[in-house]
């Protein structure tokens, strides 16, 4: 009796999983008119960020929004839009965050200048430590030579 119940549970789970797998949306391959369009599509989807994953570009993301955005980029490419027009559309719709390389402008100064500032601070700390170490080493050397004399 227990074996029969176990069999029914396993069969039900197996059928459920197969039904859900069948209902997953199938993405049709994107067809391009020219090889140039396909190359542009690859470059654009690598330069645009997935808004769901945030650390992946559109080309690598499997999120549903990334699928939708790739389809949008594909449609715009086929419609004859330039790369700049496509990027501008995405920025207007989602903000500068959608770009992996946001432009240098007033609201992104901190983003671009922070690494330089941190590098400068690190170099300053290194310089101060080297000077302190040199003074400490010099004073230790002077004490040793004074003790030997």
Which tens digits make up the pLDDT trace of 19-57? 555 555 555 677 888 899 999 999 999 999 988 887 888
Q: How far is CA 79 from the centre of its chain?
A: 28
Contacts of 66 (CB under 8 A, 6+ apart): 50, 52, 53, 56, 58
Summarize the chain as % helix, strand, coil (round to 5): 70, 5, 25
pLDDT at 74 exceeding the cut of 60: yes
């Amino acid at each position: 009796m227990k074996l029969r119940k176990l069999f029914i549970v396993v069969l039900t789970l197996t059928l459920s999983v197969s039904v859900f797998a069948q209902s997953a949306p199938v993405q049709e391959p994107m067809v391009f008119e020219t090889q140039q369009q396909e190359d542009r599509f690859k470059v654009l989807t690598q330069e645009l960020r997935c808004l769901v994953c945030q650390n992946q570009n559109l080309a690598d993301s499997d999120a549903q929004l990334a699928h939708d955005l790739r389809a949008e980029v594909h449609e715009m490419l086929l419609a004859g839009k330039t790369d700049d027009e496509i990027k501008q559309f995405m920025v207007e719709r989602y903000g500068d965050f959608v770009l992996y390389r946001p432009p240098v402008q007033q609201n992104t100064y901190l983003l671009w200048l922070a690494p330089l500032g941190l590098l400068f601070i690190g170099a300053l700390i290194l310089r101060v430590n080297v000077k302190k170490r040199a003074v400490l080493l010099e004073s230790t050397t002077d004490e040793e030579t004074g003790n030997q004399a």
